[in-house]
Amino acid sequence: MSLRVRESLLGGLDEVRHEPLAKRIRAELDGATVVDTTHAVLVWEPRRVVPSYAVPTRDLHARLAPAGPAAVAGDDVGKPLPEVSRRPVLDPSIPFRIHSTEGEALDVQGDDRTLPAAAFRLADPDLTGYVVLDFTAFDTWYEEDEVTVSHPRDPFHRIDVLASSRHVRLELDGTVIAESTRPVLLFETTLPTRYYLPRADVRAELVPSATRTRCAYKGEASYFSVTLDGRTVPDLAWSYPAPLHEAGHVRDLVAFFDERIDVVLDGEPRTRPVTPWS
């Protein structure tokens, strides 16, 4: 019987998973390089959908000290992603300090400051001699000489960005807010298709928001609220003014959360997806 590839990739979601990296990985803290290694490993704790860097302790140029008992993620912690798991997943909004496997939480002590619980030594014999690090606790990360944003890049996660002539109509409470026959479709592993449209094809008023988010694969997104019939729907749309390499074709186009609007594709209504952004 054939096995769906997604099921193969996600079959171990409830287990600790790891994958060695061939890249040189560095991290900076207060202007100093505190990680420099060519032996990094990507680690996914159970239910985590994005990886963390694990590095040999010999390549961490900082002191480690016990941080007290690690916080444990129960089944009441996480976000729904039913296409991926029946249990709530731990997406990047769930702090690193919350763990889903056995191990020891550690403080990372630099020359000028301490990063509380920013390291985790897993109780896993395959990762002896390694500590997993909190990406967000450090100032800057590099893969080779390129800055990495948001979280480590997953070699099994990708995006495809394709120009299309499909007819896309976006509706909010029955009102058409955008319509296009020249969308750019962005396909991303385990996530719903996103429809990026030229601003000229957006009918609703877009009000710039102060919200910014970062994606390891697409870069930094700027958000817009939508004004419709005298009311404002906050942060309903976003755009990438300076996307990363693979996402270059969506520069300055606008996408909307399919989870919060209705999408009609080639005349057929699509079901609203359920994701952490629902």
Report pLDDT digits (tens) over 185-221. 999 998 999 999 999 999 999 999 999 999 999 999 9
pLDDT band at 85, cuts 50/70/90? confident
- The CA-atom distances, in angstroms, between 81 and each of 4, 50, 53, 275 are 18, 13, 23, 5
pLDDT digits (tens, 9 = 90+) for 91-131: 999 999 999 999 999 999 988 899 999 999 999 999 999 99
pLDDT band at 71, cuts 50/70/90? confident
Position 76 pLDDT exceeds 90 = no
| Nearest-angstrom CA–CA distance, 178 and 189 | 25
Whole-number pLDDT of residue 230: 82
Residue 85 CA to its chain's centroid (Å): 16
Single pTM value for the model: 0.91
Q: Give rounded-to-5 percent helix, strand, coil for the chain.
A: 10, 45, 45
Q: Positive or negative, the Cα torsion across 92, 239, 234, 207?
A: positive
List the domains of the chain with CATH numbers.
5-148 (2.170.150.40), 159-269 (2.170.150.40)
